[in-house]
Amino acid sequence: MSYTYDYPRPALTVDGVIFGLDVKGRMKVLLIKRLKGPFKDCWALPGGFVDMEDEDTDAAVARELEEETDTKNLYLEQLYTFSKKGRDPRERVVSVAYYGLVRPDALKPKAGDDAKEVKWWPIKRLPKLAFDHRDIVKMGRERIKGKVRYQPIGFELLPELFTLRSLQGLYEAILGRDLDKRNFRKKILATDIITPTEEFEGGVKHRPARLYRFDQKEYDRKVKAGFNFEI
């Protein structure tokens, strides 16, 4: 049975802000070049319209990421709902944005569907973006800055084994400022959620540093016991 609403309904879309950290410690974001209008040939976040028949926004953003960038099974969290009038020239569009963290070297993105090209861009040198996607990227960056201080989400951006130097570099890249080496190491080691291994980094001219591993089980155990992670 059909139903006629008293009020007009907006279109619903999703957008994905996927952040990565390259080997030089630079924060990057995954963008696509649009194949179709509006904003044809402009860079934008991967995303699209939600299938109103049988799809929720979680499923929609996962599908769009796979269709446009050939990536899947990413760490994703809902970021914010963007609904400002005029954000899309076609019609009134409300977008539910998600953000994710992944190592760029762990992905081999490939353009598909209505994406002409897909590329990792340094967050400090972003091109002009379609729609209000620069605002979405900015909010995603601010969310990560806040969350990384009280949850160990940054480990998603590191390989399984890492040095304390690379871990500090990750935090500095996300927070956008330098951290005191001695204080940082003291704080992170005191949490007992990273475990030293018997392995050392290779291929370096300086003295090889010990490699560490994030201990998810120990972190989960500590959280249940009331542990407060803060860097």
Map 133-181 to HEC letters.
HHHHHHHHHHHHHHHCCCCCHHHHHCCCEECHHHHHHHHHHHHCCCCCH
> Is the pLDDT reported for residue 159 higher than 90?
no
Section 62-84 average pLDDT:
93
Nearest Cα to 141, choosing from 170, 167, 174?
Answer: 174
Q: Which helix (H) or strand (E) holds 69?
A: helix 57-69
Q: Write the pLDDT tens digit of every residue in 18-54.
A: 999 887 788 999 999 999 999 999 999 999 999 988 9
Q: Write the pLDDT tens digit of every residue in 114-158.
A: 889 999 999 999 999 999 999 999 999 999 998 888 888 888 888
For domain 11-145, the CATH architecture is Alpha-Beta Complex (3.90)
Task: Write phi, then psi, for 68 (nearest 5 degrees).
Answer: -90, -25
Domain spans of the chain? 11-145, 153-224
Q: What global pTM score does this model have?
A: 0.88
Considering 55, 66, 67, 117, which one is annotated as catalytic?
A: 117
**132, two tokens:** 């209000």
The yes/no answer on whether domain 153-224 falls in CATH 1.10.10.10 is: yes
Q: Give how far Cα 140 sits from Cα of 57, 80, 98, 174, Å.
A: 17, 9, 8, 11
Q: In the chain, count of helices (H) and strands (E)?
A: 5, 10
Asked about 77 being catalytic, the answer comes back as no
End-to-end, the C-alpha distance of the chain in Å comes to: 55
